[in-house]
Amino acid sequence: MNAEASARAIDAVARTRAGTALAAEEIELLVADFVAGRIPDYQMSAWLATVACRGLSRAETVALTRAYVTGGDTLDFAATGRVVLDKHSTGGVGDTVSLIVAPLVAACGVAVAKMSGRGLGLTGGTIDKMESIRGLRLELGTDEVYRMVDQVGMVITGQSASLTPGDKATYALRDVTGTVDSLPLIAASIVSKKIAVGAHGVLFDVKTGAGALIPDQDRALELARLMVEVATGAGLRCRAVLTDMSQPLGYAVGNALEVREALDVLRGQEIPGLTELCRTIAALMLRSADPGLAPEEAERKVRGTLAGGEGYEQFLRWAAAQGAEPDALAEPGGLPIAECQEQVLADRDGYVHDVDPRAIGTAAMRVGAGRLVKGGPLDHSAGVVLRHQVGDQVSAGEPLAVIHHRDGVEPPVGLVRDAFRVSESPPSARPVVLQVI
């Protein structure tokens, strides 16, 4: 540790707490000090917590975004002569959209380069989910990223030490310091990765509702607009969608379980809510790559690609090229399977009126699908699979969900059962896409 750097960190915490804006150079130095190990975790955690309480100005958010990128490598796909897009979700319970959209868009002929992180909050992140696939390499060097885009049309990679070092250093801290849902921290983290990965355009999928990092719809809309503004300022082609996470998206919650569901969608299976959202996002990305493409034509292309299974074949090609074992996705037994499965039964007849996504996510975390502490291990086979969504009619004694867990882990049956509210009459339909920005 460094006494001078420590003093700067303490001053940054005090001034941010007082509402005094930091200069861009001060934010860049604070992040650089942490990356270099000149200040300890607890001082950076204090500043992150202060930001979560007090916020940052727009200029400070832009400065933090740039600071996360500074000192690391950045990719440049200009030499490929093709448009390369990225997509990012702010996350939510059962959010498998990235696993579906990346190969779907690539199968439609538009290259996708995606840098992803590990889980924050209740369930695993995209990298955690992908690690369910035996042999899949998710820490790629720059040359490998270019090769994957050139040869396969897509790449998904984790945050290496050479890309967005500032974001990588602070990312895990947010999970254990109560700063996950800070808008400036979310925006800076996400947009910095998009700048570093070198994509020409990006689609932001901003979740709102009880199962999202940002439950309040107004705040979620503010985040979407903030990310579009910051990313557009960096020269990226940007769109954002505001999507509903008032219930788990799809049926599966848990790492390997969500990979299986993503593959089902890519094979053409219609998963209520999930399939519709993936079609919408994929069509927007196609139109971003080709602004002259009519909305109807983009939608037709996406539907045809799903129906024909080309997205599934693209996923398999990508996984194999990135090192997955030949039988890693074979069924049965390719992906991890939990030792035990516990059914959760309905205790009355009626219609599913609500499914509390946070309760489902908490249940999945308790059986090992999410992290309780920084760097904690995951059980990739664990989680919860819903048998019913909002609006479905159910009978007493019928399974509402199935908990997947290891032997010796107590399944939280009561928590899952209480997540379902069953009423006598069906609820009103809820759109999954709330707004396009």
For residue range 127-145, list pLDDT tens digits in order: 999 999 999 999 888 889 8
Domain 3-55 indexed as CATH 1.20.970: yes
Span 21-50, average pLDDT: 95
The span from the CA of 349 to the CA of 395, in Å, is 4
Instruction: Write down the pLDDT at residue 43.
Output: 95
Residue with tokens 């861009």: 24
The answer on pLDDT for 158 being more than 90 is: no
Nearest to 286 by CA among 131, 432, 87: 87
The string of pLDDT tens digits covering residues 180-229 is 778 999 899 889 988 888 889 999 999 999 988 789 999 999 999 999 98
Element (H, E) at 89: strand 84-89
Q: Kindly report the CA angle at 318 between 316 and 324, in degrees rounded to 5? A: 75
Torsion of CA 279, 285, 291, 295, to 10 degrees: 10
CB 417 within 8 Å of CB 225: no
Residues marked active site are found at: 88, 167, 174, 189, 193
The span from the CA of 197 to the CA of 199, in Å, is 6
Instruction: Write down the pLDDT at residue 350.
Output: 98
The string of pLDDT tens digits covering residues 28-39 is 999 999 999 999
Is the torsion defined by CA of 126, 128, 134, 140 positive or negative?
positive
Output the average pLDDT for the chain: 92
The span from the CA of 56 to the CA of 62, in Å, is 10
Nearest to 250 by CA among 384, 412, 101: 384
The answer on pLDDT for 7 being more than 70 is: yes
Residue with tokens 């996510």: 361
The span from the CA of 133 to the CA of 323, in Å, is 10
Span 99-116, average pLDDT: 95
What is the residue extent of each domain of the chain? 3-55, 78-321, 340-423
The string of pLDDT tens digits covering residues 364-391 is 999 999 876 666 789 999 999 999 999 9
What is the assigned CATH class of domain 78-321?
alpha beta
Both tokens assigned to 267: 């094979």
In a 3-state reduction of DSSP, which class is residue 80?
A: helix
The answer on pLDDT for 344 being more than 90 is: yes
- C-alpha distances in angstroms, 156 versus 94, 145, 153, 178, 311? 19, 8, 11, 28, 15
Instruction: Write down the pLDDT at residue 331.
Output: 81
Least confident of 211-225, 248-262, 288-302: 211-225
- Mode of pairing for the β-strands spanning 350-355 and 252-253: unpaired
Instruction: Write down the pLDDT at residue 74.
Output: 86
Span 66-93, average pLDDT: 88
The answer on pLDDT for 429 being more than 80 is: yes
Instruction: Write down the pLDDT at residue 213.
Output: 78
Q: What is the value of pTM for the model shown?
A: 0.87
CB 326 within 8 Å of CB 86: no
Task: Enumerate residues 6+ apart whose C-beta is below 8 A from 429.
Answer: 391
Long-range contacts of 1-9 (CB under 8 A, 24+ apart): 1/37, 1/38, 1/39, 1/40, 2/33, 2/38, 2/39, 5/33, 5/38, 5/39, 6/38, 6/39, 6/40, 6/43, 8/33, 8/39, 9/33, 9/34, 9/39, 9/43, 9/44, 9/46, 9/47
Least confident of 87-101, 267-281, 306-320, 336-350: 87-101
User: CATH fold of 340-423, please?
Assistant: Aldehyde Oxidoreductase; domain 3 (3.90.1170)
CB 37 within 8 Å of CB 70: no
* Alpha helix segments (H runs only) across 153-216: 165-175, 183-197
Share of the chain above pLDDT 70, in %: 97
Question: Sorting pLDDT into bands at 50, 70 and 90, what band is 122?
Answer: low
The answer on pLDDT for 78 being more than 90 is: no
Instruction: Write down the pLDDT at residue 161.
Output: 65
The span from the CA of 280 to the CA of 69, in Å, is 30
For residue 332, whether the previous peptide bond is cis, meaning omega lies within 30 degrees of 0, is yes
DSSP readout, 296-338?
HHHHHHHHHHHHTTHHHHHHHHHHHHTT--TTTT-TTTSS---
The answer on pLDDT for 163 being more than 90 is: no
Question: Sorting pLDDT into bands at 50, 70 and 90, what band is 277?
Answer: very high
